[in-house]
């Protein structure tokens, strides 16, 4: 998966957000807030697909909602990567090396990962995309969902969300 076009879109989203919010916020503090936001989005993604709800009989996946939650995760990961300048080092990811890892372990890794090094960040992105693949989503579908959600996020900022 080529990340360059995704970085380009996320840089624009981040720029629009920066223009609409306080510019006096400490960048390191902002990164930590993005890491928390990413983990919240991962929890929302997990809740949407409800794989961990062993007590639940029905586990039907709403593909549109699943893609939207995944796109939110991608947005925060990309924003963190750009802020930490990983976008200069990680131009492509290969989620296929995690294909034998159960979804439960992939999610646990995402929750535990501090995203504080290039390697940790890259592994998180690969784990996230691998989850999507395991759910039967294609990389193209995930990319389209990300681009669509980025457009929504820009429109929200214009409306002073």
- pLDDT per position as a tens digit, 97-130: 888 999 999 999 999 999 999 999 999 999 999 9
Task: Give 124 or 23, the one with higher predicted confidence.
Answer: 124
Cα distance between residue 117 and residue 107, in whole Å: 18
Asked if residue 150 lies in contact with residue 75, where contact means CB atoms within 8 angstroms, the answer is yes
Average pLDDT of the residues of the chain: 93
pLDDT above 90 coverage of the chain, percent = 78
pLDDT at residue 26, rounded to an integer = 85
At CA 68, angle to CA 27 and CA 47, rounded to 5? 90
Cβ of 154: how many Cβ atoms within 10 Å? 17
Once rounded to an integer, what is the mean pLDDT over residues 76-85?
Answer: 97
Task: Give 41 or 92, the one with higher predicted confidence.
Answer: 41
pLDDT band at 27 (very low <50, low <70, confident <90, very high): confident
Tell whether pTM > 0.85. Answer: yes
Question: Which domains does the chain show, CATH number per domain?
Answer: 4-158 (1.10.4010.10)
Cα distance between residue 130 and residue 136, in whole Å: 10
DSSP conformation letters of 120-157: HHHHHHHHHHHHHHHTT--HHHHHHHHHHHHHHHHHHH
pLDDT at residue 94, rounded to an integer = 87
Residue 24 has pLDDT above 80, yes or no: no
pLDDT above 70 coverage of the chain, percent = 98
What is the 8-class DSSP label of residue 51?
T
Q: Which two tokens stand for residue 147?
A: 């681009």
pLDDT at residue 44, rounded to an integer = 98
pLDDT band at 20 (very low <50, low <70, confident <90, very high): confident
Task: Give 160 or 2, the one with higher predicted confidence.
Answer: 2
* Contacts for 127 with CB less than 8 Å, ≥ 6 apart: 95, 98, 101, 106, 109, 110
Where is average pLDDT lowest: 9-13, 25-29, 142-146, 149-153? 25-29
């Amino acid at each position: 998966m080529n990340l360059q076009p995704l970085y380009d879109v996320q840089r624009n989203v981040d720029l629009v957000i920066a223009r609409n919010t306080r510019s006096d916020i400490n960048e390191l503090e902002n990164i930590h807030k993005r890491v928390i936001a990413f983990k919240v989005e991962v929890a929302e993604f997990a809740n949407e697909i409800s794989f961990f709800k062993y007590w639940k009989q029905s586990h039907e996946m709403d593909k549109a909602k699943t893609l939207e939650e995944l796109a939110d995760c991608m947005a925060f990961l990309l924003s963190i990567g750009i802020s930490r300048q990983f976008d200069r080092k990680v131009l492509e990811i290969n989620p296929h090396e995690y294909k034998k890892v159960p979804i439960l372990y992939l999610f646990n890794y995402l929750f535990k990962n501090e995203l504080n090094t290039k390697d940790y960040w890259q592994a998180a992105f690969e784990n996230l995309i691998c989850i999507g693949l395991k759910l039967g989503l294609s990389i193209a579908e995930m990319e389209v969902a990300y681009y669509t959600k980025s457009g929504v996020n820009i429109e929200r900022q214009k409306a002073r969300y």
